[in-house]
Amino acid sequence: MPVEAALARLLEVAEAAPIREREHLPLAEVEGRVLAKDLIATLDLPPWPNSAMDGYALNLADWSGEPMFVSQKIFAGQAPEPLQPGTCARIFTGAPVPAGADCVEMQENVQVLADERVVFTEPMIVGQNIRPQGQETTVGELVLPAGTRLGPIEQGLAASLGCAALDVVRKVRVAVLSTGDELVEPGTALGPGQIYNSNRVLLCSWLQRLGCEVIDAGILPDDLPTTRAKLGELQDVDLILSTGGVSVGEADFLGIALREEGELTLWKLAIKPGKPLTVGHFRGVPVIGLPGNPASTLVTFALLTRPYLLRRQGVQDVEPLKFEVPAGFAWPQAGNRREYLRGRLEQGKATIYRNQSSGVLRSAAWADGLVEVLEGRTLTAGDEVTFIPLTELLG
């Protein structure tokens, strides 16, 4: 299954099971969450015309070239009097422009005479240095649509509109399961044939960054009764996300349990690293099973699970930003799967880690992006390849 087809199907599955519950949270607590209701402006921004400079406000039609009297001084936070005809007003950045003034001249272009009258030394135009009322938003305007992911910038924007709290989608509850008899947690000595569980902490941290509530369901040994029992304990989550055990090997107990008490489709993805992906449910609870090799886990999580989780929260824009860059390497052997090489940008060119094995997580720690090489494609240095920054995928 091509990557696009897998993504399209996963997004459909996500749309069929949207998270509907909402929470009303103080603005300071919405970071990383998804807006549940359109944010409509209830005021104009700015609410009144204000000065973009420290200087002098005047009505340009009153200006004959002669010195002018300064009739008032307006600081930010003050409410000015209407401008006395024939005079100007001293004004500071952010202060309301007085009624009757249509122009602000910056103080650098103004000479103050001994009698405190001022002379404007440069030509001026109507509207200069004035931020008009409503230049950012006007009352009733849609500022952020439902489904927007909220971060520091959206929080700042909501604050500028006076919002103290926002309606957000409840967090997606994701249970993380690592499968494999060979796995032990760091902190314990390794026995023969054992390896440390790297996927668990990788996924738990990543899910938290994506605004999920993480249920760490630990390590599942390769046996059917424990697998059944464990899956049965996870009935109140929105997704069971497992790693490992999805190869067609004999130890695919997750697959057996899903076939018995739910549904399972095994997708053979045209992706490298990656390939086998389990999608299904156990007694109605959605399950996604990622391949166990850490670099495969990373790539299939980044490109397929992340958009799935965002879409379940109602996010429309789930595509990471990507761009074309010249390859700083050659790729002589075309593959029949789409490759996501762990790479870096060096002097504007994509370079790749020396070892692209799916078991090598260090490649991704070295990298700052995924370099996409399409199926059937060969490259010579200088050909364009697609680069997806890891920062796009990690948050």
Binding site for Mg ion (CB under 5 A): 180, 244-245
CB of 6 to ligand AMP, least distance (A): 18
Q: Helices 224-233 and 253-261 meet at what angle, rounded to 10? A: 60
- With CB under 6 A as the contact rule, the residue among 199, 227, 242, 313 that binds ligand AMP is 199
* Cα separation, 108 vs 229, whole angstroms: 76
Please measure the distance between the N-terminal and C-terminal CA atoms of the chain and give it in whole angstroms: 26
CB of 226 to ligand AMP, least distance (A): 15
Closest CB to ligand AMP among residues 245, 328:
245
* Cα separation, 76 vs 80, whole angstroms: 10
The answer to whether residue 195 forms part of the interface with ligand AMP (CB under 6 A) is yes
Q: Which residue has the tokens 């941290």?
A: 205
- With CB under 6 A as the contact rule, the residue among 55, 80, 255, 292 that binds ligand AMP is 292
The answer to whether residue 293 forms part of the interface with ligand AMP (CB under 6 A) is yes
| Total number of residues that touch ligand AMP (CB under 6 A) | 18
Tell me which stretch binds ligand AMP (CB under 6 A): 16-24, 178-186, 227-235, 377-385: 178-186
- Give the x/- contact pattern for ligand AMP in 220-259, rule: CB under 6 A: -----------------------xxxxx------------
Q: Which run of H or of E encompasses 227?
A: helix 224-233
Measured over the CA atoms of residue 208, residue 210, residue 216 and residue 221, the dihedral's sign is negative
* Cα separation, 252 vs 223, whole angstroms: 9
Closest CB to ligand AMP among residues 208, 247:
247
Q: Which two tokens stand for residue 281?
A: 């449910």
Answer whether 255's CB lies under 8 Å from 278's CB: yes
Binds 294: which of ligand AMP, Mg ion, none (CB < 5-8 Å by kind): ligand AMP
- With CB under 6 A as the contact rule, the residue among 137, 197, 278, 300 that binds ligand AMP is 197
How far does Cα 2 stand from its chain's mean position? 25
The answer to whether residue 182 forms part of the interface with ligand AMP (CB under 6 A) is yes
The answer to whether residue 274 forms part of the interface with ligand AMP (CB under 6 A) is no
Tell me which stretch binds ligand AMP (CB under 6 A): 92-100, 146-154, 196-204, 266-274: 196-204
Q: Which run of H or of E encompasses 118?
A: strand 118-120
Closest CB to ligand AMP among residues 80, 289:
289
Coil/strand/helix, residue 185: coil
Residue 300 φ/ψ, nearest 5 degrees: -75, -30
Q: Which residues contact 330 (CB under 8 A, 6 or more apart)?
A: 379, 380, 381
* Cα separation, 154 vs 167, whole angstroms: 13
Binds 255: which of ligand AMP, Mg ion, none (CB < 5-8 Å by kind): none
The answer to whether residue 178 forms part of the interface with ligand AMP (CB under 6 A) is yes
Interface ranges with ligand AMP (CB under 6 A): 178, 180, 182-183, 195, 197-200, 243-247, 291-294
